[in-house]
Structure 1
């Protein structure tokens, strides 16, 4: 019986707006996941076929393929976040529990965990790069530069999404999952190089290169632990 205690206007109207918005943008919703998945699956095959046809199969070609693969993923993430913002943003219900949860800041524990893991990961990746550079320059670049670049792009993406609660939680989740893919790809590369070194005649040079590659592989495994910790803390 108190005035304003129960609203007979905003609740039903807000719910109608939510259902109408989802129905109107159902096809647009399918575009987002398609673009994101395509940005991960297609580049390794498409770019390798194209660049190996246009250029010689050299180390430079591999780096060009790696660069365009990473760049295409970030373009795909940008398109996905744009679609997600257009899809989720207009259909929010003012005062609803979901809106309050989306607009809420991350917990203090997650912020501390994310900051510490990012700092340790950056220091470990950069130091491992300089240590391994002397003997395994190209391998160190291919293994660690995409990882560090991903940290920088994620930081920029989180800053951009600070005032966009509809997509803010998506940024760290996408990048943390993709970071595991980056580390797995780098670990396979380094493990393959270590295996190929076993076929060479033992010498001071080959022993130093093998030790450097093993150190690089251990660093990648430790970075994987940091990434799993960050993802678990976020979830």
Structure 2
């Protein structure tokens, strides 16, 4: 848990430094454009998709922990906590960049979605190690219940991976539209 926590802290500190340097370098060349952001988020269906996927990214892990907590306990929370923390951190970073009028705002969704995929693979690896530690134990109702809960966590991580890919690809599609975007689309 300590290694996971320290790697999360190092990522967020590194990201803050990267965004600060990027903003400092880009500031003379690119200005923050609320109009451009409005053009991206104002496209039909984007905000609905963004709210739905973010809600699913928060609700699904919380529900998985709620369901598996009686069987697995703390490992369920340990596996999803970094993912949930990244959702909160993205919101904090976005508010900070918006307040500063930073031109590096398009980098955040890209970086966080890719990082969430990494977090999901780490969480799945953690759960798989827990499953492997049960190998060779005699089959009992408790072992079956525990393995079922671990499989439920793995399925949740796979669904979240698809949602993160959807979110990333949707943002890229809106950031780089294939046709000109009108203001009143």
Check whether TM > 0.5.
yes
1 CA distance for matches of 2:134 and 2:13?
36
Relative contact order: is structure 1 or structure 2 higher (C-alpha 8 Å, sep ≥ 6)?
Answer: 2
Equivalent of 1:81, from 14, 19, 23? 19
2 CA distance for matches of 1:130 and 1:114?
24
TM-score computed with the length of structure 1 as normaliser:
0.67
Equivalent of 1:174, from 111, 118, 129? 111
Equivalent of 2:41, from 104, 107, 117? 107
Question: Unpaired runs of 5+ in structure 1?
Answer: 1-62
Which residue does 2:82 correspond to in 1? Answer: 146
Question: Unpaired runs of 5+ in structure 2?
Answer: 173-185
For the residue of structure 2 that corresponds to 1:90, the secondary structure is coil
Aligned residues of 1:154 and 1:171 also touching (Cα < 8 A): yes
1:226 positional shift: 0.7
1:102 positional shift: 8.2
CA RMSD of aligned residues (A): 1.9
Equivalent of 1:190, from 112, 121, 127? 127
Equivalent of 1:216, from 150, 153, 158? 153
For the residue of structure 1 that corresponds to 2:27, the secondary structure is helix
Which entry has the higher C-alpha Rg, 1 or 2? 1
1 CA distance for matches of 2:112 and 2:34?
21
TM-score computed with the length of structure 2 as normaliser:
0.84
Equivalent of 2:59, from 123, 136, 160? 123
